[in-house]
Amino acid sequence: MDIRSVADSFYVCCNKNVWKISRNEVHKRPTKMGLSINCARWLCNSCDFEWGTVVKYSNTYLPSLKAKSFLLERIDLSEEHSEPLRIDTWTSIRKEYFNIDPTTMMQALCDVSKEDREKWDQQRCWSTGD
């Protein structure tokens, strides 16, 4: 999975095929978070595990990953072979596990189905202060 940061505030999966192996559940009350809007829960198509959220940013829908949805393991500690850990924040992941480059190719993420795009575009957005 190729992970990139967007505006140094959220982290997205940069694989245009990700929409084919996942599904989403539209939020009843999408929320605006700064310059982005959380539109839907983003789920594994096979097991319904929540990977993150679908975020609208700069008129593009992006698959945003939740840090705590993944287990991380340090493979560079082969002698100690650490146990997989669930980390709560991307800041901690970046400090302890790996660097995450910024997104540079937004168009590759625009392969959202027409049906999903229309569904998300019809939502009324709510501010986080409402």
Residue 5 DSSP SS3: strand
Locate the domains of the chain by residue range.
3-116
Assess contact for 107 and 99: CB atoms under 8 A: no
- pLDDT at residue number 130: 47
Distance (Å, whole) CA 24 – CA 27: 9
CATH of 3-116, one of 3.40.605.10, 3.40.50.2300, 3.30.470.10, 2.170.150.30: 2.170.150.30
Whether the pTM exceeds 0.75: the reply is no
Q: How many H helices and E strands in the chain?
A: 2, 9
pLDDT at 25 over 80: yes
pLDDT tens readout for residues 44-67: 999 999 999 999 998 889 999 999
Those residues with Cβ within 8 angstroms of residue 46's Cβ, 6 or more apart along the chain or in another chain: 21
Mean pLDDT value of segment 98-111: 65
